Chain A
Amino acid sequence: MKRLPIVFAVTMLFTLGAEAHLCNDVFVQAKDNLVVKVDVRDGQLRIQETGTFKVYLLNTMDRDIQTINLDVVTKDFTAKVTPDPSWRRHPQLRTVNRGGQKQSFEVELTRKKKTKKGKYKISLLLYGRNKNQVFKSVDINAAMANMEVPKASKSLKIDGKMKSSEWKKGLLFTSFHEYKKSGKYMQNFTAAQQTRVRLFYDKENLYCFVDLQKKLKKGKECSDSVKIYFAKDQSKTPETITVDFKDKKVTCSSGSEGIESKIEKGGTKMEIKIPLECLAKKVEDDKDKKKKKDDKSPKTFWINITREAGSTTTYWRGNPSSVKNPVAFARIIFKEWY
C-alpha cells in the first residue's frame, strides 16, 4: 500500500513525459498529414462589418492530436474562433485511422472602428497547448490554393510523341512522397522514384501526360500504374482513372468509353485523352434522370494522384488513410471555361 503512491507518481510522470514527447513529434508529422482547408471563395473574404469563414481539419496521421487550437493574428479586426458544436472531443483531433472525422473552426471577424475600406491580411496559426507549439509547415495557403488547368491547343494530338511545345504549358503535378516509418512514427519522405503528370482540358475532354521519370530496363518490367482520382466536390466518392504501363491501357471506374491513349517508344510516358463525361458521371442524384440529362460538364474538380510501382506506393497528396478522401485533394479549375 505504501508503494502505491510512489508507483502512481512514477506512472504519472512517465505518462506526462511520454505525452510531451508525443506532442513534440506530432508537429513534425503534421506536415502533409494534417489536412487543412479554408472555406473562403477565391481566397479572399469580403466583409462590411462582420464576416465568417470556416477552417476544416482532418487528421490522417497514425495517431491523435491531443490539443489543437486556431488563432487569428490581426490588428484590424476582432476575431472570434469557435470550434464546431459537433466537435465533441475538442481540442482533441482524432485520427481517421481511429474513426476521426473532419472537424472545423468557425472564425468570425468584426471590423474595428478605425479599420477603413481596403485590403488587409490576417494570419492563421494552428497551435498545440500554447502558442509556442505551432504546427510546423502546415501550409494553409496551399490548402486554399486553386490550381488552374490551361486550355488545350488545337494542335495537341494523342500520338505518342511527347513534344515540349505541346505539353510544357500543361498544369504540372510532381514532387510525390512516400509514407514511411522513421523511428517510431510514420512520415512523408520525397519519393526516390518520381512521377510527373500534366493536364490540359477542352470542352469535351481532359488531356493527360503521364511520365514515370525513369528508363525502362528490358526484361525487368514490373507493374507500374498511376491512378488519378477526380471528385466533383469534397463530399463525393471520386472516380479513378488507372494508367497501367505494364498492360499499356487506361481505364476509368465509371466506364472507359471514349478514352484514348498512346504510349511512347520508351514505354515510360503516355498521352491520354479522357472524355469529361467519364469524370462527371454520378455527379447528381442517380435517381433523378432529368437532372443527369441537364447536367453540364463541370468546370472544377478535386484531384489526387498516386503511383504504384511494384510494392511501392507514392502519393501526390495525403497518405494511405486519406488518399481517396476528397478533403485531402487539391482543387483544379478549368481556366477560361466560359
Chain B
Amino acid sequence: MIKCPFCGTNQVANTIFCSECGVYLLEDERRGTEALDVDPKNWSDETANEVLAAWDKKKSGTIVVRLKIGEKQREVETTLVKSVHLGRLDPASDVFPEVDLTNDDGLGKGVSRRHARILKRDNHVVVEDLGSINGTFVNGKRLAPYIPEPLNDGDQLQVGTLMIEVSLG
C-alpha cells in the first residue's frame, strides 16, 4: 500500500495516479531544461502569405500531422483535432505533451517540458512557441513566444536543438 501525499487515501502498490484525487504518485527525477547555445540555421523562409495561400488551395477537412524526429528519424503521426503539444513528459507538473520528446534526448537537446504546440487555425496549421527556454524555429527562423506562425508541409521544425521534419496531409 502507498499513501497519496495529496489526499491521504491508501493506494495499491504500483498505482500511477491516485484513484481519489488524480495526483501523480511516483517519485520523479525529471529535471528542468538548461539553456543551450542554440545556433539556428538560416534557411530561406517563405512568407506567411505564401504559405497561407498554398493552404487555401487545399480543401479543409481532417489534417494529419506526421513528424520525423531527430537523428533516429522516429516517426509519429496524429490527426490534428485541437492541438498537439511538443515537450517532455512531467506528470508531477501535469505536463502531458502528445508528442513526448524525452526519449529523443529531449533534455540534452534543450527541449522544455512545455515547448511548443501545433494547432489548426482557420484551416491552416500553425506552430506556437510556448515560452520555451531554447526556442522554437521554423526553417531556421526563431519564433516569437506565443505568436503562432504558419507551418507548411516539408518544413523543418526545431525545438531547442532537436530537428523535426514535418509532413502534413
Do A and B belong to a common assembly?
no
Residue positions of A touching B, CB distance < 8 A: none
Residue positions of B touching A, CB distance < 8 A: none
